[in-house]
Amino acid sequence: MYNKGKNILFTALVVLTACLPHRLFAQIPGDTLGKLRIESSEVGEAFMESGREKRKLSGTVRLRQDSTLIFCDTAILDLDDALLIGNVVIEQGDSLRIFGDSARYFGATNRSDLYGETALENGRQKLFTRKMSYDLERKIAEYHEGARMTDGQTQLKSRHGYYFVKEDQIYFKEDVVVTDPEFTVRTDTMGFQTKTRTVQFLAPTLITQIGTKIYCEGGYYDTENDYAEFNLNPQYERAGQRGRAQKMRYIGASKEYILEDSAYVEEPAEQRVTKADLIRYNTEKETAVLVGNAYYRDSTQEVEGAEIRYFSREKRFQLAGRGRVSDPPNIIEADSLDFNEELGGGLAVGNVYWRDTAADFSILAWRMDYNKQSEYLNAFGAADAATGRPLMKILVEKDTLYMSADTLTAFKPDSTADSRVLLAHLDVRIFKSNLQASCDSLRFSTADSIFWFYPLQNKPIIWSDTSQFSADTIRMAMRDGKVDRIWLRENSLVINSPDEQFYNQIKGRNNTIFFVDNAVDQMLVEGNAQAVYYALDDDQAYIGVNETACSEMRLFFGDNKVNSIRFYGQPDGKFTPMKEADNNSIRLEGFFWETERRPRRLEDILLKNR
């Protein structure tokens, strides 16, 4: 009977044990199942399913795989895999934490899929999504159902994402939108370097700021240092301005935009175009620098140079290196140009070339001060040397007339006038192939095309071929690009000498010389008129000298010699044969034959104190 009872009790215990689905066990720290090590839990259960033992941990579950810690409310462990339920947290290192409502862990691939309100935190970056996969060994997280990332005040959204924790690199794809108090970014693919906090533009990207849009297809933005580079077809629009280049940069520390290689900016409403190898614009100082093949154009002017600087607040241009400003009808070139649009004043230095295309005359100088509004200019110094003299050129009779002085000044007599007045001061010299002149100061007006020659220490003189014209004051009028007449006022004296041995002389208070086709046609002498002229026979040999005095006389010329003379007011005269004439003493009062002051070539008018 004892044995039978013993067997019945054993059978009952076996049946009871078989009917229980679970068994409780004591939690042993360091216990392992597959690749996961159990560090702690409040309750542990074991049960059989599909022929193998599984474990269920509940209450503050803590698991470890190498250096990775896993926390959750409940964990069901199945060999190398696990189902994690409630307040799932995965920690790696000091800064990386991943959260989820639930998760699956796959030991064979060392990967975890997290579900529900899922988040990844790494330092100041926080990523939120509904589903995330994380490779614990390679430390790579990815999502494909949309996510939102925050980094301080910056937020980012995208459809897909890949977070390479080891490399501190995140890639965002499809419908990527970045919002920040300073800007908004829209693109299809973008990278983010978490350690340096650098945004990488990897596809066509539109960046919008207040009043500004930037487009590029490649580049990066260093958010920590507020520095950006845009390449692959970068373009921008701001305040009616459009720009493009091969490469664009933004330097937040200095508030500068830089356009490099084929830089181009246009403002259609203002009819402005700016081009250069490099354009640098400082938004804080409102300054622009154009370097290399620099070009600027607006509705009134063109500016070209090796380097152009523009100061918006002062509306001031500064050209370094050879530059050119075209402001029709005026053109100016120089090695250095500085111009203030608001004040209308400018300074040009070094090999200065200025031209008035309407009046068709130009000035070359070392330095030129000018004012756009009054069209005033003051030039001094030779174009190629600071110690020389400025030079004016004007087209006369299809030939160039050159004029030089210590200082050349030009201006418009009033704002409505089309004409211009030119003043030359001190040691004025004029050279033309068939006409030369010298005086102390000069005035020329394009309104009437009249040159006024004034004395200071020396009488003004004009030379034409073998003739010399002098007086206290001289006027010379041009018509159709030719000399029309010359007025000699007070103490006029005309001397002609083909051989510089015998001198034909005409003297009077005033003298008016009339030209036809650049040759003297008539001469009217008024007031104490006197004449000394040598007579020639048919063989052009001297036969004697005529001396005549009267109140007025008119001389008629042909082939550059006197054909006839009319005398008015009881002329008094005599004829002396050549054999009896004392040619050295036949000189009218005030006679002088000037050879030192006469320019014989262009170089003679440029040399200072020759």
DSSP letter for each residue of 384-411: TBTTS--EEEEEETTEEEEEE-SEEEEE
Residue 503: what pLDDT?
93
| CA dist list (Å): 244 to 216, 257, 603 | 10, 12, 49
Q: Is the dihedral of CA 308, 309, 312, 317 positive or negative?
A: negative
Q: Which is nearest to 410 in space by CA: 365, 463, 454?
A: 365
Q: What is the pLDDT of residues 546-574, one digit of tens each?
A: 999 999 999 998 877 778 889 998 889 89
Q: What is the pLDDT of residues 570-579, one digit of tens each?
A: 889 899 999 9
Query: Which conformational region is residue 233 in: left (phi greater than 0), alpha (psi within -120 to 50 degrees), or beta?
Result: left
* Percentage of the chain lying above the pLDDT 90 cut: 52
Instruction: Provide the β-strand partners of residue 567.
Output: 553
Q: How confident is the model at residue 31 (pLDDT cuts 50, 70, 90)?
A: low
Residue 345: what pLDDT?
79
In this model, does residue 2 exceed pLDDT 90? no
Residue 159: what pLDDT?
97
In this model, does residue 80 exceed pLDDT 90? no
Q: What is the pLDDT of residues 133-161, one digit of tens each?
A: 999 989 999 999 999 999 888 899 999 99
Ranges 6-15, 60-69, 154-163, most confident: 154-163
State the average pLDDT over residues 487-492. 95
Q: What is the mean pLDDT of the chain?
A: 87
State the average pLDDT over residues 12-30. 43
Q: Which is nearest to 229 in space by CA: 211, 217, 242?
A: 217
Task: Return phi, psi of residue 12, to 5°.
Answer: -65, -40
Q: Is the dihedral of CA 47, 48, 50, 52 positive or negative?
A: positive
Q: How confident is the model at residue 394 (pLDDT cuts 50, 70, 90)?
A: confident
In this model, does residue 25 exceed pLDDT 60? no
Task: Return phi, psi of residue 540, to 5°.
Answer: 65, 30
Cis amide linkage into residue 329, ω under 30° from 0: yes
In this model, does residue 610 exceed pLDDT 70? no
In this model, does residue 538 exceed pLDDT 90? no
Residues 517 and 506: beta-carbon distance below 8 Å: no
Spatial separation of the C-alpha atoms in residues 263 and 244, rounded to whole Å: 6
Instruction: Provide the β-strand partners of residue 117.
Output: none
Q: Which is nearest to 404 in space by CA: 432, 377, 372, 376?
A: 432
Q: Which two tokens stand for residue 452?
A: 């006024």
Q: How confident is the model at residue 283 (pLDDT cuts 50, 70, 90)?
A: confident
Q: Which two tokens stand for residue 352?
A: 């200065």
Residue 301: what pLDDT?
84
Residue with more model confidence, 116 or 395: 116
Q: Which of 12-16, 45-49, 73-77, 487-491 has the lowest mean pLDDT?
A: 12-16
Residue 108: what pLDDT?
86
State the average pLDDT over residues 523-531. 94
DSSP 246: S
Spatial separation of the C-alpha atoms in residues 538 and 158, rounded to whole Å: 110
State the average pLDDT over residues 199-226. 92
- Which residues, 6+ apart, have CB-to-CB distance to 318 below 8 Å? 308, 309, 310, 311, 337, 338, 339
DSSP 414: S
Q: Which two tokens stand for residue 24?
A: 């409780």
In this model, does residue 375 exceed pLDDT 90? no
Residue 434: what pLDDT?
85
Residue 34: what pLDDT?
58
SS3 assignment, position 559: coil
State the average pLDDT over residues 455-466. 90
In this model, does residue 29 exceed pLDDT 60? no
Q: Which is nearest to 274 in space by CA: 243, 249, 248?
A: 243
Residue 564: what pLDDT?
86
Residue 399: what pLDDT?
83
DSSP string, 290-326: EEEEEEEE-SS-EEEEEEEEEETTTTEEEEEEEEEEE
In this model, does residue 414 exceed pLDDT 50? yes
Residues 491 and 461: beta-carbon distance below 8 Å: no
In this model, does residue 316 exceed pLDDT 90? no
Q: What is the pLDDT of residues 156-197, one digit of tens each?
A: 999 999 999 999 999 999 999 999 888 899 999 999 998 888
Residue 609: what pLDDT?
64
CB atoms within 10 A of CB 91: 16
Spatial separation of the C-alpha atoms in residues 410 and 390, rounded to whole Å: 13
Residue 18: what pLDDT?
35
| CA dist list (Å): 207 to 173, 219, 257 | 16, 12, 14
Query: What per-residue string of b and e applies to 458-477 under the rule 16 or more CB within 10 Å gives b?
Result: ebbbbbbeebbbbbebbbbe
Residues 131 and 155: beta-carbon distance below 8 Å: no
Q: What is the pLDDT of residues 331-356, one digit of tens each?
A: 889 888 888 776 677 889 888 999 98
* Percentage of the chain lying above the pLDDT 70 cut: 92
In this model, does residue 532 exceed pLDDT 80? yes
Residue 147: what pLDDT?
96
State the average pLDDT over residues 8-34. 43
Residue 328: what pLDDT?
83
Q: Which two tokens stand for residue 54?
A: 């599984």
For tokens 């006409």, the residue is 435
